[in-house]
Amino acid sequence: MGAGLEVAVFGAYGHTGRFVVAELLERGFVPVLSGRNAGRLGAQAAEHGLGHRPASVDDPASLDRALAGTAAVINCAGPFATTAAPLIEAALRARITYVDVAAEIEANADTFTRFAEPARARDVLVLPAMAFYGGLGDLLATAAMGGWTAADEVHVAYALDSWHPTPGTRASGAVSRERRGGRRLVFANGRLEHREDAPPAARWTFPDPIGHRDVIAEFTMADVVTVPSHLSVPEVRTYMTVEAATDVLAPDTPAPTAVDDAGRSAQTFLVDVLVRSGDAERRAVARGQDIYAVTAPLAVEAVERVLTGRAKATGVLSAGAVFEAADFLRALSPHVVVEV
């Protein structure tokens, strides 16, 4: 387990950051709490008896102090278009593993483009989108591929019974919409493309007990960056149940409400990944509770595997490229139930 290793958590007092801190403590790591708000950090540090180091992405020296002596950093602070690059640069200076939980497609694409060579040169692993969106879908697609070296299509369909967004989700979504200028993104013909039309409606047959559901096709999530970053697939499409899409886009949908001692909401999810090559199809399915809470074991499992020598390479990589996907998914039990 963590063996007392220090792991910095930037944005530790945020909704997802708190889940990450709890998961690190559960595994024997020592979280070093960081972020911009010194008051919130101090209160959280006192609650857990932990150290805290206020820092700002506008102040590289403060980031260096925050990461000093740590073995890795997990960035939980969006919008990642603002925070990812400064934190990655600080991690490269410190020569430590960087993990983030970004669902912002453009921010993730920027990370692959901008930091691939610098990370390799410094022998550092940078893992963007190590979260419910981006990381989990990539691991499921990689496990479903099995021995295939290429496929024609990957489809990732999300069945959320609701989606109550956090303030961070809203802020990140606003930044992405601004960057797109009213357009939407898809991954087709082997590249990210902007489209001007509305996303099409469709019907998806999820595994029982969900069954047939109306979905928004091309409701594009971070999987369109992570999956094709290492799998030879020219088409990656993501789908969202209409109810969840309506929730997250509505301005008056409330934030998640805790229903158990762990702070999880009552939300449930099912992720259905279909990989097609010619007439052959393979499938992987994941089920669980609370998309924000389940991000914590994804991110912390990644850190633990890197620090125990179970990562395949350095550079900017997605989860499926650097870990044994099926084994990683098994390790997420009981947080996530997986069928491949």
pLDDT at 228 over 80: yes
Q: How far is CA 25 from CA 2, 110, 224, 262, in A?
A: 8, 31, 32, 13
Average pLDDT, the chain: 97
pLDDT at 1 over 70: no
pLDDT at 215 over 70: yes
Q: What pLDDT does residue 214 have?
A: 98
**Banded pLDDT at 315 (limits 50, 70, 90):** very high
pLDDT at 117 over 70: yes
pLDDT at 29 over 80: yes
Burial 313-327 (b: 16+ CB within 10 A, else e): ebbbbbbbbbbbbbe
In whole angstroms, what is the distance from residue 304 CA to residue 310 CA?
8
Q: What's the whole-number mean pLDDT along residues 171-199?
A: 94
pLDDT at 322 over 80: yes
Residue 334 makes CB contacts below 8 A (sequence gap 6+) with none
Q: What pLDDT does residue 2 have?
A: 72
Q: What's the whole-number mean pLDDT along residues 13-18?
A: 98
**Banded pLDDT at 330 (limits 50, 70, 90):** very high
**Banded pLDDT at 102 (limits 50, 70, 90):** very high
**Banded pLDDT at 326 (limits 50, 70, 90):** very high
> Residue 107 in 3-state DSSP?
helix
Gyration radius of the chain over CA positions: 19
Domains in the chain (CATH in brackets) are: 6-132+294-328 (3.40.50.720), 137-289 (3.30.360)
